[in-house]
Amino acid sequence: MKEIKTDILIVGAGYAGIAAAKKMHAAGKDFIIMEARDRIGGRTLTEDLASGVTVDMGAKWVGPTQHLVWEWIKETQTETYETYDQGKNLLKFKDKISSYTGTIPKIDPISLIDLGIAISKMNKLSEQISISDPWNHPRAKEYDAMTLATWMEKHIWTAKAKHLFEIGIQTVFAAEASEISLLFALFYFKSGDNMDTLISIKNGAQQSILKGGTQGLVKKIAVSFMDKIHLNEPLLKLIQNDGGVLAESPNLRIRAQKCILAIPPVLINSILFEPPLPQQKAQLYQRMPMGAAMKVYLIYPTPFWRELGFSGQIVSDEYPLKVTFDVGHADADQGVLLVFVEGNDARNFIDLAEDVRKKMIIERVEKIFGHQASTPMQYIDKCWTEEVYSRGCYTGLMGPNTLTQFGHQIRTPFQHVHFAGTETAEKWSGYLDGAISSGYRAASEVLK
């Protein structure tokens, strides 16, 4: 087995690992990156389709307050464009289709008020939460003993508002409201400014799209140290002693003084630690399951819906199509419709055969946009629960009793091992920006 020595070992070449490596590189440090996959980028994956369109099968957008991503964008002179957001949005609810503009669908006044109050309550509650120690909020125990679904049951009164709120939650978390604790939801909203920001295009988390995709960006950042990255090397064993760490993959042994683990929390369970992880950390990583996000693209010869006066944004109650976006450039020839399938829908939908999935999605879109939608040039989908080295997307979730009992362990180093990954971020946890800041933080711990 090949053995290499280095000062700092970084495990994982996603945004967090590459961010840590960038700092090491700038500081002139000796480092190596160990990556399980045959590619870098982690939960970003940009594909150039046969139809000539470039799509992000993983993380896609950048919001205006995600400053660290914008630094990378500027540094690499990456072009961006804003998500198409003109014309009317469409709401399909119980076989009725109605149009609206803005983020909140046009529904009956009672439901609309109900929905508005719920979002406003959520924002007020999350505003009080500290992103560095949410477990210290005076009512943390109470908020962390219930699911977000329980809160919704209590605070949302109309079926329509509940349904729309739920779609918002599925889109933000790639999970069900029943899977996450209220406290975790409040932390997550605050971490990304507030619920409004997370569900919005304009001034929100879905505002800007990168030409060349998000994986394209991280590839540009990594270009000056690609020779330090060892692909196809899943970390199986991590031994620590006074002198440092010994990391083993099936083909490689790496000795280092320090190690940064920049992988999803659930994958930490798959490493054999010697000595074992402290028990609270070990219990924590059993309690951060990944959400289920599926991205579906329909590529059309033209964005025909624009000519019909539609934005391409749909909110629908019909499984599996809940939310769509037009993610093509404003001047694009081709129409690029992105369909989100999230949470339990994604888990169930991906188990169908591909031709069945394609047929179902196209039928749903056709019902709303009419006959022109029936013949896309291309259908492509991806469910991240099938990715062995992510085990789901977007992020590691927390059910009840996790943040309050184990949350304080999330950034705690273990001897020579430091922990990065978007789940460890205070700001923009679960997003690319959080991944970058987590890599920077872990790097600064190691460089201290």
CB of 3 to its own copies, least distance (A): 16
Between CA 225 and CA 221 the distance in angstroms is 9
Give the one residue of 405, 408, 415, 445 binding its own copies; rule: CB under 8 A. Answer: 405
The stretch near its own copies (CB under 8 A) out of 91-99, 192-200, 264-272, 311-319 is 264-272
Q: Is 415 in the site for its own copies (CB under 8 A)?
A: no
Give the one residue of 131, 401, 413, 415 binding its own copies; rule: CB under 8 A. Answer: 401
Between CA 385 and CA 350 the distance in angstroms is 9
Q: Is 287 in the site for its own copies (CB under 8 A)?
A: yes
Residue 423 is labelled as binding a ligand: yes
Q: Is 231 in the site for its own copies (CB under 8 A)?
A: no
Give the one residue of 144, 233, 423, 433 binding its own copies; rule: CB under 8 A. Answer: 144
Q: Is 51 in the site for its own copies (CB under 8 A)?
A: no
CB of 423 to its own copies, least distance (A): 13
CB of 185 to its own copies, least distance (A): 13
CB of 227 to its own copies, least distance (A): 27
Between CA 14 and CA 219 the distance in angstroms is 10
Give the one residue of 130, 251, 280, 374 binding its own copies; rule: CB under 8 A. Answer: 280
Give the one residue of 65, 123, 286, 372 binding its own copies; rule: CB under 8 A. Answer: 286
Between CA 9 and CA 259 the distance in angstroms is 5
- Written as one string, the DSSP assignment of 323-369 is EEEE-S-TT-SSEEEEEEEETHHHHHHTTS-HHHHHHHHHHHHHHHH
CB 416 within 8 A of CB 261: no
Residue 161 is labelled as binding a ligand: no
CB of 188 to its own copies, least distance (A): 17
CB-nearer residue toward its own copies: 30 or 319: 319
Taking residue 71's Cβ as centre, other Cβ atoms within 10 Å add up to 12
Between CA 138 and CA 126 the distance in angstroms is 13
Give the one residue of 1, 242, 279, 353 binding its own copies; rule: CB under 8 A. Answer: 279
CB-nearer residue toward its own copies: 53 or 245: 245
| Ramachandran sector of residue 365 (left: φ over 0; alpha: ψ -120 to 50; beta: rest) | alpha
Give the one residue of 328, 400, 430, 439 binding its own copies; rule: CB under 8 A. Answer: 400
CB 86 within 8 A of CB 311: yes
CA Rg value for the chain: 22
The stretch near its own copies (CB under 8 A) out of 48-56, 144-152, 192-200, 300-308 is 144-152
CB of 273 to its own copies, least distance (A): 8
Run of H or E including 242: none
Q: Output the 3-class SS for 96-128.
A: EEEEECCCCCCCCHHHHHHHHHHHHHHHHHHHC
Residue 292 is labelled as binding a ligand: no
CB of 210 to its own copies, least distance (A): 28
Query: Interface mask (CB under 8 A) for its own copies, residues 348-387, using x and -?
Result: --xx-------------------------------x-xx-
With b for 16 or more beta-carbon neighbours within 10 A and e for fewer, the 217-241 pattern comes to: bbbbbbeebeebbbeebbbeebebe
Give the one residue of 270, 372, 378, 415 binding its own copies; rule: CB under 8 A. Answer: 270
Residue 36 is labelled as binding a ligand: yes
CB-nearer residue toward its own copies: 236 or 330: 236
Q: Is 170 in the site for its own copies (CB under 8 A)?
A: no
> 58 CB contacts (<8 Å, ≥6 apart)?
41, 42, 43, 44, 45, 214, 215, 295, 382, 384, 393
> 229 CB contacts (<8 Å, ≥6 apart)?
13, 32, 33, 35, 40, 222
Give the one residue of 59, 290, 293, 432 binding its own copies; rule: CB under 8 A. Answer: 290
Class of residue 77 by CB neighbours under 10 A (exposed 0-12, middle 13-18, buried 19+): exposed
Q: Is 345 in the site for its own copies (CB under 8 A)?
A: no
With tokens 């599996």, the residue in question is 320
Among residues 192, 205, 184, the alpha carbon closest in space to that of 103 is found at: 205
Between CA 171 and CA 345 the distance in angstroms is 11
How many residues bind its own copies (CB under 8 A)? The answer is 47
Taking residue 274's Cβ as centre, other Cβ atoms within 10 Å add up to 10
- Phi and psi torsions of 70, nearest 5°: -60, -35
The stretch near its own copies (CB under 8 A) out of 98-106, 112-120, 155-163, 276-284 is 276-284
Give the one residue of 234, 312, 421, 434 binding its own copies; rule: CB under 8 A. Answer: 234
Binding residues for FAD: 35-36, 423
- Which residues bind to its own copies, rule: CB under 8 A? 144-147, 149-150, 153, 176-179, 234, 236-237, 250, 266, 269-273, 276, 278-280, 282-283, 286-287, 289-290, 292, 344, 347, 350-351, 383, 385-386, 388, 391-392, 399-401, 405-406
